[in-house]
Structure 1
Amino acid sequence: MFFFDLFLFALINADAQTPLFSIQLARVLSAWTPNISAALVLLALLFGSPAVRRTMLMLLLSMATAWAITRLIRWGFPAPRPFQLEMGTLWVQHGGRASFPSQHASGAFALAMALALGVTRHRKALVVLGFAAAIGICWSRVHLGVHFPSDVIAGALVGSIGAVIVWNATFWLRRRRYLRAVPHIKKLRLRLRTQ
């Protein structure tokens, strides 16, 4: 837990005076946004153009990378959830697994960042929607009492960094293969010309 967690958690976590609409919205964002996102990614993989399918595969690889990084951090630094410390109000049933960083936040931001890195400039609305959904998920996890603010902030960073790592590694590998192939192609052309 960080120095700002107590103040921000008390500010964001829903209590008995919070309107029911706000709690229901947080439940929907927390539970349904990942499922809807998964369905849309699956549809894009099945019916999208080759470029869209490549972007979706990179998106899934980014999310898998963020998941692995999150699991490693949780294993190395297990942190309790607010309700385990008897803080705030828990509005959904949840297990007592480690909370830092947030798995929901890391996956959501990996998806949003992968979209930002892979979507063409004509589909900026999709990128804005991805980041809006990711921010909504982060808010909902704190609002429902499942995470501290530092958990979702760390998850957002892990997800974003995971996507950047995947995209940069892929670019580097493509470029390296291309650079290795160029001298061989030039030699082959020279041999064909001389024969």
Structure 2
Amino acid sequence: MFAEPIEGWNEWLFALVNADASSPPGLVALARVIAEGAPTLAALMLVLLWVRQGRAVRLALLDATATALVGLAIAQVIVALWYHPRPVELGLGRQFLDHAPEASFPSDHATLLFGLALPLVFERAARPFGLAFLALALGTAWARVYLGVHFPADMLGGLAVALVAGGGIVALRGPLHGRLYPAVLGLYDRVLRKLHLPEALFPRR
């Protein structure tokens, strides 16, 4: 478990955010849409940006994808080594979204979405898109706490894991940007040419 003062803060903040029987049904429904749909929306955004944007943004998207994948791997290691129960397992709050009784810390959703957002935010060419991903990550963090399936610390843990993963990708920037990513971009261009896809819809920039 967390150190007692931190655990107390975590539970207090959870109680402050978590919906209850008097919460507006429309807000609960919106939170469910965000909580469940965010990964799919993020995937669609990645594909759209990859297809429509140029080389600089595509390189940032590869950094973002790598950061998210490394972050999720780190999260799995944490879960395997240390189990923190979800609020419902502790008899806290009210849960409005079905979820298996799995370890809550860190949140996979937060790790994924912050992992995608941060590299884009720190890359000038991709920053506007990074801010959109960041808004989606923050909205998802709120929604999953509001619906009672996570503690606030789970979301902060996801952010922390994403930062660590992002630092690892930055440390490997030389070989990634020098060799691996150009090979991926080259393969993508060859596939487009092979399929004779129109450049107006699939820019080669």
TM-score range, shorter chain: 0.7 to 0.9
Residue 129 of structure 1 corresponds to which residue in structure 2? 132
The structure 1 residue matched to 2:56, chosen from 44, 51, 76, is 51
Q: TM-score, normalised by structure 1?
A: 0.81
Q: How much does 1:100 deviate?
A: 0.6
Q: How much does 1:73 deviate?
A: 0.6
1:15 aligns with 2:20: yes
Amino acid at match of 1:146: V
Q: 1:174 to 1:40 in 2, by over 3 A?
A: closer
Question: Superposition RMSD on alpha carbons, in Å?
Answer: 1.8
Residue 159 of structure 2 corresponds to which residue in structure 1? 156
Q: Deviations over 1:107-146 (max 9, x none)?
A: 11111101112342xx543232222111111111110110
Structure 1: how far apart are the matches of 2:34 and 2:147? 11
Residue 66 of structure 2 corresponds to which residue in structure 1? 61
Where does 1:133-148 land on structure 2 (aligned, <5 Å)?
133-148=136-151
Unaligned runs of 5+ in 1: 176-195
Identity of aligned residues (%): 32
Unaligned runs of 5+ in 2: 179-205
Q: TM-score, normalised by structure 2?
A: 0.78
Amino acid at match of 1:161: V
Q: How much does 1:70 deviate?
A: 0.5
Q: 1:164 to 1:3 in 2, by over 3 A?
A: same
Structure 2: how far apart are the matches of 1:44 and 1:124? 12
Amino acid at match of 2:32: R
Question: Looking at CA atoms only, which structure, 1 or 2, has the larger radius of gyration?
Answer: 1
1:114 aligns with 2:124: no
Structure 2: how far apart are the matches of 1:162 and 1:25? 30
Q: 1:113 to 1:69 in 2, by over 3 A?
A: same
Q: How much does 1:47 deviate?
A: 4.0
